[in-house]
Amino acid sequence: MSNEGRQVVIPGQILGETSALHPGRGTYVENRKIYAERLGVLNIQDKFVHIIPLRGRYDPIVGDFVIGVVEEASTSNWMVDINAPYPALLHVKEVPWEIEFADTEKYLNTGDTILAKVLSIDESKKLQITLKDRNLFKLKDGHLIEFEPSVYRRIMGKKYSMIENIQKYTRCRIKVGKNGRIWIDGDPEEIEKVLAAITMIEREAITFGLTSRIEEFLKKDAKDVR
């Protein structure tokens, strides 16, 4: 394994020619040459050049699990902030409860946190989310922290190894939204530790061997392991 870390690319950087490679996510083509369109890490797979972003707003995709904060309750829907460039709409038909007309505030009110799924995105980027699925619900108590959405995959780890480790060593209930939000419930001291681990992952996201370093960090003063 190389110790140099992954290759960081910047906008306008030339990545190759279309005769040898195919342009993938985060790239654009001009005069048969492939260029990077954003700051990120270079990833070439099956001749496809992708840029895995290092920074930037959450870009919603249908089916993503996200953690939202209710901003406003109207008579037949809620507006929810899901950390995307646009607010998301949650219609009363998309929640698991029977709601009488204009009774929305009884179920979800401003400031409430929910674990939801992105239902649809139209061409002008109008977002809709849903609570009608298994494992989707209102999150009560707990703490909500934000992270750089681009490091979501590192926080989960390969086959969820990273997040499972964090849960194992801190005994916290954790829900991770793809939109750069984590909800944690547990002992205040342990929550501090999760926070420290997340900050570390965010900072060292482009390095190799992160999972084992985080495990070491968590092991150091773990009380009892589940």
Partner 1 sequence: MKSDIKLITDEGKRLDGRGPHDLRKIKIEAGVLHRADGSCYLEWGGNKVLAAVYGPREAVPRHTQNPLKAIVQARYNMAAFSVEDRKRPGPDRRSVEISKVISEALEKVILTEYFPRASIDVNIEVLDAEAGTRCAGLSAAAVALVDAGIPMRDIPVACAAGKIEGQVVLDLGKEEDNFGDADLPIAISPRTDEVLLLQMDGHFTVNEFNQAFDLALKGCHTVSEIQKKAILEKYQSVVAEVQE
Among 1, 12, 20, 159, binds partner 1 (CB under 8 A): 12
Of the residues 15, 23, 34, 35, which one makes contact with partner 1 according to CB under 8 A: 35
Residues 164 and 157: their CA atoms lie apart, in Å, by 9
CB of 94 to partner 1, least distance (A): 21
Stretch that binds partner 1, among 81-89, 106-114, 128-136, 179-187 (CB under 8 A): 81-89
> Binding marks (x or -) toward partner 1, 84..113, rule CB under 8 A?
-xxx--------------------------
Q: Which two tokens stand for residue 39?
A: 């700051």
Least distance (Å) from partner 1 to the CB of residue 132? Answer: 26
Note whether 130 and 116 are within 8 A (CB): yes
63 near partner 1, rule: CB under 8 A: no
Which one of residues 16, 24, 56, 157 is an interface residue with partner 1 (CB under 8 A)? 56
Beta-strand relationship, 40-45 and 88-91: unpaired
Site residues for partner 1, window 184-213 (CB under 8 A)? 203-204, 206-207, 213
**Considering the rule CB under 8 A, would residue 217 count as an interface residue with partner 1?**
no
- Check residue 71 for interaction with partner 1 (CB under 8 A): no
* Chain contacts with partner 1 (rule: CB under 8 A): 3-5, 8, 10-12, 26, 28, 35, 37-40, 53-57, 85-87, 123-125, 150, 203-204, 206-207, 213
